[in-house]
């Protein structure tokens, strides 16, 4: 899986969770994960999570680290499993820095406050995942934790690169592990 940290700020509005968005914008073809920082504002009209739409819960963060991944030849259930793997990789990266993190499904919490948003969906050609981590906690419509404001993580790019590398390596290792067993 290819990885890229995008140095330019991008406002995540939900429309980026689309087939071939990574390829069209960054010339990365195939399975890939990219990360970028910027404001996050997903209005109900762009929401993929129907439960959030029903509950009238748009998403907003003044400054967020976003991961978008597109993975081909994958069904939605496997995509949700891959989403949970990404969340677990993030959780482990934070725990390795000494933080206590609680995972509830695809949500991460620090000190009882929500740190993340995440969704997996299926397009005609791929599975798409967006996971966002608040960098700063002020301005959010609910009580949240932020990587920088609450955890003191200053070098967001280093953290993002570590997460993407570990996620990519984990998927590669899973594929390799599937090639070393004898069928029964």
Report pLDDT for 161: 98
* Residues 115, 61 contacting (CB under 8 angstroms): no
Give tens-digit pLDDT for 15-27: 999 999 999 999 9
CATH number for the domain harbouring residue 105: 3.30.930.10
pLDDT value of residue 110: 97
CA 172, CA 166: separation in Å to the nearest integer? Answer: 10
Residue 174's SS3 state is helix
Measured between alpha carbons, how far is 140 from 45 in angstroms, rounded to an integer?
Answer: 19
What is the domain extent for residue 21? 2-177
pLDDT tens per residue across span 93-134: 999 999 999 999 999 999 999 999 999 999 999 999 999 999
182 within a domain of the structure (yes/no): no
Q: Is residue 183 part of a domain?
A: no
User: What six digits make up the tokens of 82?
Assistant: 């891959």
184 located within any domain: no
Residue 150 placed within a domain: yes
User: What's the average model confidence in pLDDT over 48-68?
Assistant: 91
Q: Could you tell me the pTM of the whole model?
A: 0.95
- Per residue in 127-179, pLDDT (tens digit) is 999 999 999 999 888 889 999 999 999 999 999 999 999 999 999 999 999 99
Answer yes or no: is pLDDT of 68 > 90: yes
On whether residue 54 sits in a domain, the answer given is yes
Residue 17: which of 48, 60, 62 has the closest Cα? 48
Q: What's the chain's average pLDDT?
A: 96
Number of structural domains, the chain? 1
CA distances (Å), origin 183, targets 48, 178, 179, 180:
38, 10, 10, 10
Query: Per the domain annotation, does 140 fall within a domain?
Result: yes
Q: What is the DSSP string of 111-124?
A: TTEE-EEEEEEE-S
Residue 123 lies in a domain: yes
Decide which of 46 and 105 is more confident.
105
Does some domain include residue 113?
Answer: yes
The pLDDT of residue 9 is: 98
Element containing residue 71 per DSSP (H, E): strand 59-72
């Amino acid at each position: 899986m290819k990885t890229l940290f995008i140095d330019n700020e991008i406002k995540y509005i939900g429309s980026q969770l689309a087939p071939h968005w990574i390829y069209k914008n960054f010339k990365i073809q195939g399975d890939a994960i990219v990360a970028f920082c910027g404001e996050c504002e997903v209005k109900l009209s762009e929401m993929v999570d129907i439960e959030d739409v029903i509950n009238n819960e748009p998403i907003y963060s003044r400054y967020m680290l976003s991961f978008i991944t597109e993975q081909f030849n994958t069904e939605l259930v496997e995509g949700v499993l891959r989403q949970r793997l990404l969340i677990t990789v993030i959780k482990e990266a934070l725990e390795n820095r000494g933080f206590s993190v609680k995972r509830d499904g695809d949500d991460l919490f620090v000190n009882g406050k929500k740190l993340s948003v995440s969704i997996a969906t299926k397009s005609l050609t791929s599975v798409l995942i967006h996971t966002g981590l608040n960098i700063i906690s002020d301005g959010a419509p609910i009580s949240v934790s932020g990587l920088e404001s609450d955890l003191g993580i200053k070098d967001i790019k280093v953290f993002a690169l570590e997460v993407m590398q570990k996620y990519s390596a984990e998927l590669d290792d899973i594929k390799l592990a599937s090639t070393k067993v004898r069928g029964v």
